[in-house]
Amino acid sequence: MTIPALVVRALALAEARGFRHSSCLEAGLLLHALASTVTGGRIGEIGTGCGVGTAWMVSALQPNVGCVTIDSDPQLVAAVRDVFAISRRFRCCTVTGASLWPTGHSSSSLQTAATRKRHTPTRCLGSSP
């Protein structure tokens, strides 16, 4: 499989920032496969990092599916928004996972944000279905 262009851009961002915590290739392929099976709504991710895992998922989205990812680091969020500027079905927000899951979850992919509709993250940009 060819690595999607969005993933290449996210990997370049991680390299430029010296960010060493991105999803590995195998995890990315798994995220890609799982995301491709989602037929509606939004995929939520906690812990955007440089957007590598996000890019694998967004690259696999079916037409009416969106993706929302959050990270507590506003600088990462700003950088990732630039990477994903070409994707209209993507949102990246500065918010902490702890405020969504008060019991203290920190970072895990493919969590569903849909169960937390009461929470309105600040500083969200972009649009999604």
Binding site for ligand SAM (CB under 6 A): 21-23, 46-49, 52-53, 70-73, 76, 96-98, 106-107, 109
Token pair recorded at residue 32: 């890609």
Please identify, using beta-carbon distances, which residue of 28 and 66 lies nearer to ligand SAM.
28
Smallest distance from ligand SAM to CB 110, Å:
10
Shortest CB 119 distance to ligand SAM, Å: 12
Closest to ligand SAM by CB, 64 or 98: 98
Residue closest to ligand SAM (Cβ) = 53
52 or 58, CB closer to ligand SAM? 52
**Minimum distance from residue 25 beta carbon to ligand SAM (Å):** 11
Cβ neighbours for 117, distance < 8 A, ≥ 6 positions apart: none
Q: What is the nearest approach in angstroms of ligand SAM to the Cβ of residue 47?
A: 3
> Which residue's CB is nearer to ligand SAM, number 36 or number 96?
96
In angstroms, the first-to-last Cα distance of the chain is 28
